[in-house]
Structure 1
Amino acid sequence: MLRELYIQDMLLIDRLELDFQAGLNVLTGETGAGKSILLDSLGFVLGWRGRADLVRTGAKQGIVTASFDLGADHPAHAILSEAGLEDDGALILRRTNARDGRKTCYINDRRCSGEILRRLSETLVELHGQHDDRGLLNPRGHRQLLDTFAGIDLGDIRAIWRKRAALAKQLQQAQATLAEAEKDQDFLAHALDELEKLAPEPNEEEALDAKRRLMQGAEKIRADVARAFDALGGQGAEAQITDAQRWLEGALDAADGRLDAPSDALSRALNELGEAQRGVEDCLRALTFDPLELEATEERLFAIRALARKHNILPADLAGFGADLAQKLRAIETGGDEIARLHQALVEAEAEYDQEAKILTLARQKAGQELARAMDGELAPLKLDRAEFVVQVSDADAGQDGVDDVTFMVATNPGAPAGAINKIASGGELSRFLLALKVCLTRNAQGLTLIFDEIDRGVGGATADAVGSRLSEIAKNAQVLVVTHSPQVAAKGAHHWQVSKSVIEGITHSRVIKMEDQDRVDEVARMLAGDSITPEARAAARALMSP
């Protein structure tokens, strides 16, 4: 239940604090006095979409705070728990709107996202504005209203619909891929045969190129290497170093240690020289080749490069390309099996969808009958006891929400056929149908504050009195706020606020005054008679306000 609403620097309101009560709360005032500002401000703190220019002229930011009392079973508790927010049975929403348009919201003094705020608001307040009956006139919204009334969960059928659509797309892609692949089957087979015969290995082209270049320059390289080998061998450096070491060894004892280091160095040099000789010898063996081997190497190298150019890929990628070709050919061979599998899965998904859609249709038909009966009970107290409300469930194209169209139809006169609301109901009747429908849709909502903005427009006299009585009856089990121009509705209120505006030092201000006793009589009298309140008007007001 909405307990307090604090508004600061919003449009025409500089500062306002309202304490709301249980039961029927009415707000009255002249047209343009600022009643809609209160609703705009409340919608702002609840995170609803609305006008952007809410900050009062000259102010840095606007602030709206709303306090709610939550019952033990109120659905807002689950949302607060999920969001990790403090929950002690009271709920304080605060939202600020800076001059530059930035908006910040707080829940129990903790900053939160607009998404959490909007989820909470759905459990707190139901607003029915002056143009909400447009939803009644639009059949596209009727199915959703019926589903809301019945508590129908569309999660299962939507999941099946998505699975069905995904399978259909996969099947279409598989069929297209197979058809495209079959057109290239001969090419794929020929290309794979070429690759398998050549059988290129990863990085083979690079190795062949290096081997070819080595063989091409081998003669010149080999002559130089051979001369180096001779210079290092037994007739060259090795012999000379060996002689030098032998001569030094003969003089070691007489040199008193001065030749130990040179002798050791020569020993190391002989070891290193041996390593060099072995490396040069290995190179000489490698440089010895058969000219036919060069020819074979070049032939294979050129074949690999030609095949790579043919397929417009790098030679190093030929091995992977062959694997891709083989995979495509296998896909052609197994494509029929995959298509058959997908087709069978799609048939099963369509059958599952059809079954779920039938269950959903039966649920909607049953809910339509229940809503019609509930509406019959609501229409009678609103002077529409001869009217009939009909929920028509008809076939529609399959979609994520089933195969049903839902249309709300009415017959306002006995014996007359039911027809679309916008063709049968007058403006005043539309308002009453809306009131009845909203009552039916929110009947099981716990702790919900119902707000009606001029729900009584287009009606007067006994009909307006019936609307006021019905609102008063609803308010026995729920908190109801009504913005009204009807004295009959205002007279039924348990709590009454008057909204007015004035100009102070050239600036327009809206103010709200809670009315009691004689002031309330005068306000209802003003609504009956206009600016000049007569004794007769006051008497009529008292008569309306009497239990």
Structure 2
Amino acid sequence: MLVHLSVRDFVIVDRVELDFEPGFTVLTGETGAGKSILIDALALVLGDRADAAVVREGCARAEIAAQFDIGRAPEIGQWLAAQDLTGDEGVCLLRRVVDASGRSRAFINGHAATLQQLREVGERLVDIHGQHAHQSLLKPATQRALLDGYAALDVLAGLVSDLYHDWQAIRRQRELAEHDAAQLAREREELEWQVQALEALDFSEEEWAALQAEHSRLAHAASLIEGAREAVEQLSESDLSLLSQLAGVIDRLRQLREYDPALVDVLEILEPAEIQLREAAYALNHYRQRLELDPERLAECEARLEAIHRAARRFRVTPERLPALLQSARTRLAELSEAGDVAALVQREATLKARWRAEAEKLSVERAKAAAELSRKVTDTLQTLAMAGARFEVALIPVPEGGSFGLENAEFRVASHAGAALRPLAKVASGGELSRISLAIQVAALDVTPVPTLIFDEVDVGIGGGVAEIVGALLKRLAQSRQVLCITHLPQVAAQGEHHLRVWKEIRDGATVSRIAPLKRDQRVEEIARMLGGMDITDTTRAHAAEMLSR
């Protein structure tokens, strides 16, 4: 729901900060006071197009920010997360800045956003009903989704969509197989040769590391043997070996230790060194005994290495990549085997198409039932909204080839008075009629309307008296599960609001500016009295206004 709206230098609004409450809020004021400017500002922050004319005269830019509580709308949070536009938990903050040149910038939760992203999230947050373009009910996809939601057909519609996309994917695969049969055969032949050659090589990454180490050792065996022998001799076998010299040093220091105990520390260092030298000499002796010249094994290693390098050059990869190349070739070969089986693809395509059509036909039957029921409900509601003789119809338009949506499109049609022809809702000319029709649809589909905030502008055009009370009652009923804002000229509607905002104009520093403020109980009496009696407000008018509020 809408929590806060901030407007700066927009048309004739210099600065407005408004907090909104759940339930039913009415906006009233004299004609021309700027009530619709507030809706225009909100529409702008929800993604409407902007131009320099919206910037208040003499100002550098206009800025609108709207904060929404989305704690009870997890699907909006999921959309924001998918777009990397998340902010504080349970909050969606939209901001739009338009400079005097007409250039605009959009932000969602502080992140720079495109106008399309602003529109997409806006359609999930607010529905504006009236003569404004921002109205999702005019969109065919929304009309179909509303019908499916009204009839609880979302799961079936989702299944139809999934089956259609699966069918189309197999169809494209079958067409590709038929069109590129020769090319696929050549690719398959090439891959089969590749797999055969690599399998014959029988090479792994582990073998590569071990083979390189073994080859290095065999290739330098003579040098390793000689180096180990020289090291053992210098350590322990020659007359002047390191061990014998170190032993002599230790013996001499042990004799001298009796004269100066300070030499104990030096001996504690040298004695372990002697032990380590003996262990090193032993290890080198053991290593030397294991070493041997093996020209036959060296030749085998070199031949294996050459075979591996030859294969790597043939397939234009490094030796380490040969096992991965084999796995990739096997995988692609399996894909080609499946794709190349045209008969199997034809069978799968036919099966999926039959399943899609069977489920789509079920969907069509249920849609027809729901369309008749929704048409009747909305038509009945329209009779109470000063549209006697009006008819509403959910027309199901067959689509012979079908689609992910099923076998038909849904189109909302309206005849605004008796004898008039049914026309698409999008072509209804009167903003007031369109608002009342939208109100009737919203009431009929109360439980399935996903948008949390509904705004009605000019729903009271051409009505009055008892009809106005019915409009107010319907709006109040909607507000039991939605946040509803309504711009109204009728006291019968305004009196039923739970919250009341008044808009007026005043002159400030020689310029006309629009003001808006919430009204308390006594202020509401005065405002409704003004709406009842015009400029001359009497005690009787005030009493009548107070009575309307009390009811």
TM-score of the pair, normalised by structure 1: 0.57
Contact 1:133 1:434 in 2 (8 A): no
Q: Is the alpha carbon distance of 1:482 and 1:327 closer, same or farther for their aligned partners in structure 2, counting shifts above 3 Å?
A: closer
Q: Is the alpha carbon distance of 1:465 and 1:24 closer, same or farther for their aligned partners in structure 2, counting shifts above 3 Å?
A: farther
Q: Which runs of 5+ in 1 are unaligned?
A: 68-75, 84-91, 106-113, 246-256, 259-265
Contact 2:25 2:501 in 1 (8 A): no
Q: CA deviation at 1:525?
A: 5.9
Q: Deviations over 1:436-474 (max 9, x none)?
A: 3422322464899864312345x4xxx566753542453
Q: Deviations over 1:356-379 (max 9, x none)?
A: 322322232222212222233233
2:84 is matched with which residue? none
2:311 matches 1:307:
yes
Q: CA deviation at 1:501?
A: 0.8
Matches of 2:287 and 2:22 in 1, distance apart?
A: 103
2:212 matches 1:206:
yes
Matches of 2:152 and 2:161 in 1, distance apart?
A: 16
Contact 2:435 2:458 in 1 (8 A): no
Which of structures 1 and 2 has the bigger CA Rg? 1
1:357 is matched with which residue? 360
Secondary structure at 2:368 match in 1? helix
2:130 is matched with which residue? 129
Secondary structure at 1:308 match in 2? helix
Secondary structure at 2:389 match in 1? coil
One-letter identity of the residue aligned with 1:354: R
Q: Which runs of 5+ in 2 are unaligned?
A: 78-89, 99-104, 110-117, 245-254, 257-273
1:367 is matched with which residue? 370
Matches of 1:492 and 1:274 in 2, distance apart?
A: 104
Q: Is the alpha carbon distance of 1:298 and 1:377 closer, same or farther for their aligned partners in structure 2, counting shifts above 3 Å?
A: closer
1:36 is matched with which residue? 36
Q: CA deviation at 1:146?
A: 3.3
2:143 is matched with which residue? 142
Q: Is the alpha carbon distance of 1:93 and 1:512 closer, same or farther for their aligned partners in structure 2, counting shifts above 3 Å?
A: farther
Q: Deviations over 1:74-98 (max 9, x none)?
A: xx99669x99xxxxxxxx9998979
Q: Deviations over 1:290-324 (max 9, x none)?
A: 7xx77766555544433332222334555665566
One-letter identity of the residue aligned with 1:500: W
1:158 is matched with which residue? 158
1:254 is matched with which residue? none
One-letter identity of the residue aligned with 1:310: R
2:391 matches 1:388:
yes
Contact 1:501 1:510 in 2 (8 A): yes
Q: After TM superposition, list the pairs within 5 Å mapping 1:408-419 onto structure 2.
A: 408-411=412-415, 418-419=422-423
Q: Is the alpha carbon distance of 1:350 and 1:438 closer, same or farther for their aligned partners in structure 2, counting shifts above 3 Å?
A: farther
Q: CA deviation at 1:137?
A: 6.2
Contact 2:46 2:123 in 1 (8 A): no
Matches of 2:374 and 2:437 in 1, distance apart?
A: 10
Across the aligned residues of Structure 1 and Structure 2, the Cα RMSD in angstroms comes to 6.4
Secondary structure at 2:317 match in 1? coil
2:411 is matched with which residue? 407
Q: After TM superposition, list the pairs within 5 Å mapping 1:240-279 onto structure 2.
A: none
Contact 1:30 1:499 in 2 (8 A): no
Q: CA deviation at 1:36?
A: 2.4
Q: Is the alpha carbon distance of 1:172 and 1:431 closer, same or farther for their aligned partners in structure 2, counting shifts above 3 Å?
A: same
Q: After TM superposition, list the pairs within 5 Å mapping 1:413-428 onto structure 2.
A: 418-420=422-424, 427-428=429-430
1:27 is matched with which residue? 28
Q: Deviations over 1:405-446 (max 9, x none)?
A: 1223344676665444577x6x44x63254034223224648
Secondary structure at 2:459 match in 1? coil
Contact 1:14 1:509 in 2 (8 A): no
Secondary structure at 1:432 match in 2? helix
Q: Deviations over 1:250-280 (max 9, x none)?
A: xxxxxxx99xxxxxxx999999988767765
Secondary structure at 1:357 match in 2? helix
1:261 is matched with which residue? none
Q: Is the alpha carbon distance of 1:20 and 1:402 closer, same or farther for their aligned partners in structure 2, counting shifts above 3 Å?
A: same
Q: CA deviation at 1:129?
A: 2.9
Secondary structure at 1:386 match in 2? coil
Secondary structure at 1:30 match in 2? coil
Matches of 2:138 and 2:285 in 1, distance apart?
A: 102
Q: Deviations over 1:489-511 (max 9, x none)?
A: 45775379763211133354434
Q: Is the alpha carbon distance of 1:30 and 1:20 closer, same or farther for their aligned partners in structure 2, counting shifts above 3 Å?
A: farther
Q: CA deviation at 1:6?
A: 9.3
Secondary structure at 2:413 match in 1? strand
TM-score of the pair, normalised by structure 2: 0.57
Q: Deviations over 1:515-538 (max 9, x none)?
A: 677876665565xxxx9x899xx9
Q: CA deviation at 1:393?
A: 0.3
2:435 matches 1:431:
no
1:503 is matched with which residue? 507
1:89 is matched with which residue? none
